[in-house]
Chain A
Amino acid sequence: MSARPVYVAGVGIHPFGRFEDKDVTALGQAAVRDALSEAGVGRGGFQAAFCGTVYTGVAAGHKVLGGLGLSGVPIVNVEAGCASGGAALGLGAAAIASGQRDCVLVFGMEKMPRGIIRSSFFPPWCEEAGFSPAPAYFAMRARRLMLESGVTREDLARVSVKNHAHGVHNPYAMYRKPFTMEMVLGAQMVCDPLTLFMLCSPNEGAAAVVLSARPGPVAPAVQVRAAVLRSHVPGSALGEHTPMSGLVADEPPGPTETAAREAYELAGVAPSDLDVVELQDTDSGREILSIEELGLCPRGGGGQFVADGAGEMTGRLPVNPSGGLLSKGEPLGASALGQVVELVWQLRGVAGKRQVDGARVALGHTVGRGANASVVVLTR
């Protein structure tokens, strides 16, 4: 992405939550309107659109833009599981960087069913046999952290307490109440060691970003320095591709690690350069695993990172100041772009009580079904 700089010219978000009175198209349109308005871009002002969504079905992005009188440009609908928005952002950024487009619209939206995510990923016999529940896989990854990274049940609870404390200040989050250690540890056990309040809720929402070869009207200008998507390499029985087997030896790096390496190289930054991070916290253990895989601490150092409070607002690297998915909920197609919107506000210095002072380098991360992982680096 060295050819031309890629600027974020405008951002928009529809709150994440439950909205019985709106369909998914209306959610997407709200975010798109706000992003285009902030960028000062209307019909004819962008040359392509990329829409991340998983559950919406045929022509999802076309319905959003068609209803706003904005169709005519190429509209590409992108499914990459939890990383769908990151995948869409990567396509948009590449179109700008290469010189193919001068301005593009990237958006994502979702309206998820309640409860455990049901996915067409698993054939019916896998569901019948009990292989489908995502929290069971999350729980085993969390247990591995307990075995290999010194993570305790209290550490898992602490992540949830931290993110919910952040979410109190986020008007776009679904849950805006503080949680105590006792509440999180004492909540219903879903899959040991994960309780209900250590798991995020699938929900509804939308986010949108206008990318441009030139800075937008809002200063300071924020640049996309990397937007990388990677899939899994087989070998790990615990990989996000949820295989039925893996190897005892030679466990390969996961897609988060490979995407992060590439993103750091493209952006010319190291983990120590980061000021603020929004990362995948589908469950408390996932946040700690993401911290390790992104290189924010040494492998095996996740428990210490949490115990040190390193990811708190007062810590050395605030993690999920938005409240993360634990507070916001996870609308798959929108979650990665929701992170980008938060990070743009952080870099502009307008995040209010969530603001990380002086943030200049930011990283966003999502990972999930596919497997897919996306890592985004933004700077001002």
Chain B
Amino acid sequence: MAQVPIHPGLFTPPGDPRGARLLAGRCPACGKHHFPAAGTCPYCTAEGCEPVALGAAGTLYLYTVVNARPPGYRGDVPYGFGIVELPEGLRVVSRIAETDLDVLQVGLPVKLEIAPLFTNDAGDEVLSFAYRPDETVR
């Protein structure tokens, strides 16, 4: 069974030596990061932004749990949803691989994972990204 990303350019492919990372755009002029990566910096309009791998670890900024299946969604419900702060100065909107509201809290250490979300009509496993509470950080 082949694995395909849900959308090109969002994250590193399986087996990438950098590990599971999101790919952001870094502006050569103002230095700010944006995600998903684009050629033009949304903050200063400079061209020539280069994709860079973001750190895998972050902290949870805001969160909720989606209980009803949104139209078009192909994963399981309920699912966690939130915003993660990364050391690069970026806040990333993401699925959160945790639905227990007693576990989810502001400042919770989380780590990126890239995992199959659903199987498409061609029989391929479709990979997407989520942040999961990082048990190794106390």
A245-B70 contact, Cβ under 8 Å, with A144-B62, A234-B43, A235-B43: no
- State whether B64 touches A191 (Cβ < 8 A): yes
Per the bound structure, the CA–CA distance linking A237 and B72 in Å amounts to 23
Q: Which residues of B contact A243 (CB under 8 A)?
A: 93
What string of 1s and 0s marks CB contacts (under 8 Å) between A115-130 and chain B? 1101000111101111
- State whether A129 touches B95 (Cβ < 8 A): yes
**Residues of chain B at the chain A interface (Cβ within 8 Å):** 6-7, 24, 32-36, 42-43, 61-68, 70-75, 79, 81-83, 85, 89-93, 95, 101, 106, 117-118, 126, 128
- State whether A125 touches B6 (Cβ < 8 A): yes
**Which of A213-247 touch B at CB < 8 Å?**
234-235, 237-238, 242-247
> Could you list some 19 contacts between A and B, CB below 8 A?
A118-B71, A118-B72, A125-B7, A127-B73, A128-B6, A128-B117, A132-B73, A135-B66, A140-B64, A143-B64, A192-B101, A194-B64, A234-B42, A234-B43, A242-B93, A244-B35, A245-B33, A245-B92, A246-B83
- State whether B74 touches A128 (Cβ < 8 A): yes
- State whether B83 touches A247 (Cβ < 8 A): no
Report B11 CB to chain A, min CB distance, Å.
12
- State whether A132 touches B42 (Cβ < 8 A): no
- State whether A244 touches B92 (Cβ < 8 A): yes
Per the bound structure, the CA–CA distance linking A374 and B82 in Å amounts to 28
Per the bound structure, the CA–CA distance linking A298 and B82 in Å amounts to 27
Per the bound structure, the CA–CA distance linking A238 and B106 in Å amounts to 15
- State whether B64 touches A192 (Cβ < 8 A): yes
Q: Which residues of A contact B85 (CB under 8 A)?
A: 248
Contact of B73 among A128, A235, A245 (CB under 8 A): A128
Which of B24, B68, B117, B128 gathers most chain A CB within 10 Å?
A: B68
- State whether B66 touches A140 (Cβ < 8 A): no
Q: A129-B117, A191-B65 are in contact. List 16 more A-B contacts (CB 8 A).
A: A116-B68, A122-B72, A130-B95, A133-B70, A144-B62, A190-B67, A190-B68, A192-B64, A192-B65, A242-B93, A244-B92, A245-B91, A247-B43, A247-B90, A248-B85, A248-B91
Report A254 CB to chain B, min CB distance, Å.
15
- State whether B62 touches A143 (Cβ < 8 A): yes
What is the chain B residue whose CB lies nearest that of A245?
A: B35
Contact of A248 among B75, B79, B89, B93 (CB under 8 A): B89
**Please, how many residues of chain A have a CB less than 8 angstroms from a CB on the other chain?**
40
- State whether B91 touches A237 (Cβ < 8 A): yes
Does any Cβ of B come within 8 Å of A147's Cβ? Answer: yes
- State whether B89 touches A249 (Cβ < 8 A): yes
- State whether B36 touches A132 (Cβ < 8 A): no
A136-B71 contact, Cβ under 8 Å, with A237-B83, A237-B93: no
What is the chain B residue whose CB lies nearest that of A134?
A: B70
Report B58 CB to chain A, min CB distance, Å.
10
What is the chain A residue whose CB lies nearest that of B120?
A: A128
Report B91 CB to chain A, min CB distance, Å.
4
Does any Cβ of B come within 8 Å of A189's Cβ? Answer: yes
Q: Which residues of A contact B35 (CB under 8 A)?
A: 244-245
Contact of A244 among B64, B93, B118, B126 (CB under 8 A): B93
What string of 1s and 0s marks CB contacts (under 8 Å) between A123-158 and chain B? 111011111110110011001100100000000000
- A-B residue pairs, 10 tightest by C-beta: A127-B72, A237-B91, A139-B64, A245-B35, A133-B70, A140-B62, A191-B64, A234-B42, A125-B7, A118-B71
- State whether B82 touches A140 (Cβ < 8 A): yes
Report A132 CB to chain B, min CB distance, Å.
5
Q: Which residues of A contact B64 (CB under 8 A)?
A: 136, 139-140, 143, 191-194
Per the bound structure, the CA–CA distance linking A132 and B66 in Å amounts to 11
Report A344 CB to chain B, min CB distance, Å.
36
- State whether B106 touches A147 (Cβ < 8 A): yes
Report A58 CB to chain B, min CB distance, Å.
23
What is the chain A residue whose CB lies nearest that of B36?
A: A244
Report A290 CB to chain B, min CB distance, Å.
18
Which of A132, A143, A189, A245 gathers most chain B CB within 10 Å?
A: A245
